[in-house]
Structure 1
């Protein structure tokens, strides 16, 4: 609104004046203000003040009409206030340049106008031009240091530009000026979430909720953070209330979908994600999560398509790209293609950090024989399959020669967390540190060898490792593959996953491969009281095959592999793990297409670990998947006395079964072809005495093998760390 001089109010019964119209508008009487403006403009079509006020009145309902009024006012008098008002009618990116020019002219006419500077900063910020926006906001704040709205807009722009530290400072200043500024509390919470400070973010949102319990913005974000904190019922109530207030809020639909997926209501989750995508087809987060839902349902090709759509919508979406890489392992056996995609990931997401850290000098003493500091980084130091492998390693580390530091990225602790913590020299709960602060913590701790246990799986922190906080960085355990990152110098493997002296094998990885002598995995079931039972087929009169792998591994390649087994054994039954609902219906249809009738199939849902292990008491032979073999599930099956014949291929993930069977002295159950696999499975199924004897002795065989020799495995891992460290010590310092 212009601050130009205005005439005085009219006397009673006289021709109305601009002051009358302005007073009506200011008290909210829009109809009267509009009528008075019409009379004023009719009386004098060049009444600039009336034309400007008419634009303000029309703005909320007709942006183009408002723009026309402001244009007519400017034709009469080039007033900086009129120019500011004209700029507010530009809501689209296409109009942004026009609005910027209007505001720049307003500032030329009145250089010390904080409102014009604020609006110009906002427009530059929307265009992603932080360099242009920042001086506008800072000049506006210098002119109006107590203006909370300017601080809020500046802080919000900094947040969108990922300038989190500066954004937090400015938003906190906003709240000093206006403690009840709900949007500032909400956006501060977003900054805190972005920097992994979930506890503080939850407190900020809970305070915002007390100020505005019906705010859809606050309810949506509160629901998301409550879900992350495991407060499911409260999260659902907040999200459903947000959708009652604003049914078209796409972020609330997306968050509700995540909640439903977490509680196992997969069909409802997919419907929520699809509703979000209907409302906003380029919503990358919802496309990513719909892909996750497809993956959990066993529809890996649909999942991959969703991840690609998410990346098309937002090429910088690091989560979508990691999930794409993870999923591609299940869909094909081309490890070179996986490497190429992983390298694209590093180029797209890590490049600036890699460039900045390439010449970084580490102060670690180059002494090949001293006690080394080993750092393990993971979000899954908890009741998670990773604990089955970390427990025997941590339990048997030589603490005289190695100091063990665990960096727990997760924000939830449980009894398994406490058990693992007892085996570490230093335990750091770092889930609320962002990548930069965590990298500095690792440098301050003087870590020599930093081990990435997640790679591209859920909870990955790829940009942490791109900062190169340790001189030696190695990938292990998540899965036997490649990160694609130049920041990871080594990967651990074994002679079965990656046969030595094969250049075509090493070409699959960006890292240098160091082969452990026996096995990539060392396992502890953490369920020693649960014994195997007698062979179920002896009582049932038929063989029961089973596969309790993640349904995303049930590719058409896998089902085609199994079809030969069921064709040869018409009495055999099959048990699979899959979520209830359409996922089972679709899987049943796909099995039928491969000649496996629905009458031969029964399903199990996702279960707690002990119940899941007990399910193996109903299974005679576990069927492996291809191209991604079972890893943890195969070890669980073997622990419960259930043999797992395997089909192996070219990639490391397709050779996991071969590794396990070779370490158990059962290489005859591993086949390099479909025909060989079918022959091995059918022969075993037809030889019940052999199958029963195998079941009775598998646990003892496992216990005597390298797969469960924690002390031996720890010595091999430590030798590998020492070899990597010696190689770094031998390099010329930067």
Structure 2
């Protein structure tokens, strides 16, 4: 809103006792009722007093938009003043009358080309209409004309942030808070820029400062809740978000992030309710749709999750998080590896292409095939996480004379983090590094082989790898699949996940597949060894099956696979892992549809690792999932003496059980169709002496197999890295492989 201009034509001179200057002074002092009375008196004295009509309209904008417009239109009929036009635009209804407002502001600028308030307001209209480039250009002009116009710096910074230009956005927003230290929204948006750049600790400090300025700011409370959740302060985060919702029950972002609290707490029902509320308030809220998909996935509704991710992308085609979630979740729903690859390639085409279009990087790495290699590992999960069951044994056995191990960790540190750090040559905590800074750090460290341990899983750093900071880049561990990215030259696999010589097998992946000699995994249980107990069926009088996999793996294909088992064994029982609530109820309904009486099913919730391992003591045989076989869960079952027969499919994830059983010398427990699976499981369940002997011997089999031979696995990994490195040296190219 611009200050009314004083115009003093000879025809409209009020009595000496009252002038327009009196009305203007009252308005500027905040005495709006007094200013209204003065304007009314001036207009009564002279109905053609354009300045009084205009100011009267300005005073009415906040309480009666149409009355305000009528007054300003009368003023404009008397004099076409750029200030009048700017305030007329403020009387236009947002969206429905944006064309009318744009026309008024455009005319104001024709009359006064350097009118910064008109430029700023016109920029805001273009921003609301999605025309961010036009908006940014106008705001650039505003700050050039009026460098101390704090609101324009705030608006420009906010638009640049929306365009993804974090560096310039930060500079503009810092200028805004320098000019107006009490501008809470500027502090909040500056924190958002830092959050987007992964500089969370800096952002938290800014938000805590903003909260001292405005303790009831729902935007600040919401963002602070988000940050506290990221650093593991779940109770504090929940309190912040509940306060935000108490103040503003219609705040969709607060509901969205409140739902994420319940995802962390393992309560998908409450999470779904929060996300549904966010979507109800804002139907096109892409992040809420994506998070809703995560909640559905956590409760076992994988196809509903896929639909939610697609809805998120329909709302915002550029929502990278939703697309990343869609790629990963697709593997749980299908064994069609070409469909999985296609989804991964669609993701890469959108998000990697801008980085790949840049000139090929020139590497300073010395192309000597025999020298000591610098191996870089990138992960958000160097912590108490299932990934550490595999990284710890490898790191403990790396040959540091042949390889220098550098870790880039974005994990919240814990005791496992400290153990991993002690095994590396160089440990970098990169929680506060944005993608560009992390990529540059990797270049500066002259990493020869960079290993992606996350792929499309949570908190991945896909954009770092797309920048090609190392000459050789390889995917391993997250899951056996593909990134779909031309920036990743290699993927590690094994002869069971990807049988060599099978037509079309390597075409399922965009990377070159390098098969480790035995297994994709090398496992260590982490927990102090727990004794393997006797077979429960010997005393229970029936066989107890169990599946402690994530409920998202309990697809209809999985339940159909199991149905033949339970039809043949009417006394058998089943233990499943699912949180209390609707997830269990839906599972029971679905199991009943496949012929399994709910009375035969018992549930456990998500458990601490020690309790989870002890749950295997209640189970005779583990039932595998399909099309995404058990990976870590199956290894845990084997460690606790529980065999896991498997059904092999066409995708790498559906051949994980084959890989594990082959490395244990138990391929007789492998089936290639549903009927064969039922026969295999039923035969094992009916042979209790065989089952008891298997239980007693499985841990020794594990210890003696490649699956736990960490020294051999580390040598195999290093040989693979060396082969990749030599390939790059022989190519004599600067490009990434």
Provide Cα deviations, 1:8-51, integer angstroms capped at 9, x if missing partner. 66455xxx764565455445565665566566557655432233
Corresponding residue of 1:365: 366
Task: Give aligned pairs, total.
Answer: 729
Local SS of the residue matching 1:576: strand
Provide Cα deviations, 1:44-67, integer angstroms capped at 9, x if missing partner. 554322332233233223445444
Provide Cα deviations, 1:83-128, integer angstroms capped at 9, x if missing partner. 2212333453564454344333323322333322332333344445
> TM-score, length-normalised on structure 1?
0.95
Report the aligned-residue RMSD.
Answer: 2.0
Corresponding residue of 2:171: 169
Corresponding residue of 2:287: 285
1:61-460 to structure 2, matched below 5 A, reads 61-90=63-92, 92-93=94-95, 95-357=97-359, 359-410=360-411, 412-460=412-460
Contact 2:14 2:45 in 1 (8 A): no
1:614-653 to structure 2, matched below 5 A, reads 614-653=614-653
C-alpha distance 127-545 of structure 1, shift in aligned 2 (>3 A): same
Provide the C-alpha distance between the structure 1 equivalents of 2:472 and 2:493, rounded to a whole number of angstroms: 17
Provide Cα deviations, 1:448-506, integer angstroms capped at 9, x if missing partner. 11111101101111111111111111111100111111111111111111111123211
Provide the C-alpha distance between the structure 2 equivalents of 1:208 and 1:510, rounded to a whole number of angstroms: 47
Provide the C-alpha distance between the structure 2 equivalents of 1:87 and 1:363, rounded to a whole number of angstroms: 57
Provide the C-alpha distance between the structure 1 equivalents of 2:74 and 2:648, rounded to a whole number of angstroms: 76
Corresponding residue of 1:484: 484
**Is residue 512 from structure 1 mapped to residue 512 from structure 2 by the alignment?**
yes
Corresponding residue of 1:581: 581
Q: Displacement, 1:131?
A: 4.4
Contact 2:5 2:51 in 1 (8 A): no
Provide the C-alpha distance between the structure 1 equivalents of 2:612 and 2:91, rounded to a whole number of angstroms: 60
Provide the C-alpha distance between the structure 1 equivalents of 2:56 and 2:714, rounded to a whole number of angstroms: 79
Provide the C-alpha distance between the structure 2 equivalents of 1:573 and 1:564, rounded to a whole number of angstroms: 14
Q: Displacement, 1:662?
A: 0.5
1:587-598 to structure 2, matched below 5 A, reads 587-598=587-598
Corresponding residue of 1:675: 675
Provide the C-alpha distance between the structure 1 equivalents of 2:28 and 2:126, rounded to a whole number of angstroms: 30
Local SS of the residue matching 1:504: coil
Local SS of the residue matching 2:451: strand
Provide the C-alpha distance between the structure 2 equivalents of 1:708 and 1:348, rounded to a whole number of angstroms: 39
Structure 1: unaligned runs, 5 residues or longer: none
Provide the C-alpha distance between the structure 1 equivalents of 2:66 and 2:7, rounded to a whole number of angstroms: 27
Contact 1:122 1:154 in 2 (8 A): no
Provide Cα deviations, 1:340-365, integer angstroms capped at 9, x if missing partner. 111111112221111115x2222222
Local SS of the residue matching 1:312: helix
Q: Displacement, 1:72?
A: 3.7
Provide the C-alpha distance between the structure 2 equivalents of 1:531 and 1:632, rounded to a whole number of angstroms: 19
Local SS of the residue matching 1:75: helix
C-alpha distance 91-635 of structure 1, shift in aligned 2 (>3 A): farther
Q: Displacement, 1:240?
A: 1.4
Provide Cα deviations, 1:120-143, integer angstroms capped at 9, x if missing partner. 333344445554444533443344
Contact 2:14 2:42 in 1 (8 A): no
Provide the C-alpha distance between the structure 1 equivalents of 2:324 and 2:684, rounded to a whole number of angstroms: 39
More displaced 10-residue stretch of structure 1: 622-631 or 365-374: 365-374
Provide the C-alpha distance between the structure 2 equivalents of 1:374 and 1:106, rounded to a whole number of angstroms: 61
Contact 1:122 1:157 in 2 (8 A): no
Contact 1:10 1:20 in 2 (8 A): no
C-alpha distance 648-90 of structure 1, shift in aligned 2 (>3 A): farther
Provide the C-alpha distance between the structure 2 equivalents of 1:447 and 1:81, rounded to a whole number of angstroms: 60
Q: Displacement, 1:192?
A: 1.0
1:693-712 to structure 2, matched below 5 A, reads 693-712=693-712
Corresponding residue of 1:558: 558
Contact 2:126 2:135 in 1 (8 A): yes
Contact 2:621 2:644 in 1 (8 A): yes
More displaced 10-residue stretch of structure 1: 467-476 or 218-227: 218-227
Provide the C-alpha distance between the structure 1 equivalents of 2:232 and 2:318, rounded to a whole number of angstroms: 28
More displaced 10-residue stretch of structure 1: 714-723 or 145-154: 145-154
Provide the C-alpha distance between the structure 2 equivalents of 1:565 and 1:42, rounded to a whole number of angstroms: 92
Contact 1:151 1:170 in 2 (8 A): yes
Contact 1:579 1:606 in 2 (8 A): yes
Provide the C-alpha distance between the structure 2 equivalents of 1:415 and 1:524, rounded to a whole number of angstroms: 16
**Is residue 525 from structure 1 mapped to residue 525 from structure 2 by the alignment?**
yes
Q: Displacement, 1:669?
A: 0.2
> TM-score, length-normalised on structure 2?
0.95
Local SS of the residue matching 1:513: strand
**Is residue 469 from structure 1 mapped to residue 469 from structure 2 by the alignment?**
yes
Provide Cα deviations, 1:643-688, integer angstroms capped at 9, x if missing partner. 0000011000000000000000000101001011000100000001
C-alpha distance 169-603 of structure 1, shift in aligned 2 (>3 A): same
Provide the C-alpha distance between the structure 2 equivalents of 1:691 and 1:174, rounded to a whole number of angstroms: 71
Contact 1:2 1:79 in 2 (8 A): no
Contact 2:393 2:524 in 1 (8 A): yes
Provide the C-alpha distance between the structure 2 equivalents of 1:502 and 1:340, rounded to a whole number of angstroms: 20
Provide the C-alpha distance between the structure 2 equivalents of 1:58 and 1:420, rounded to a whole number of angstroms: 65
Q: Displacement, 1:586?
A: 0.9
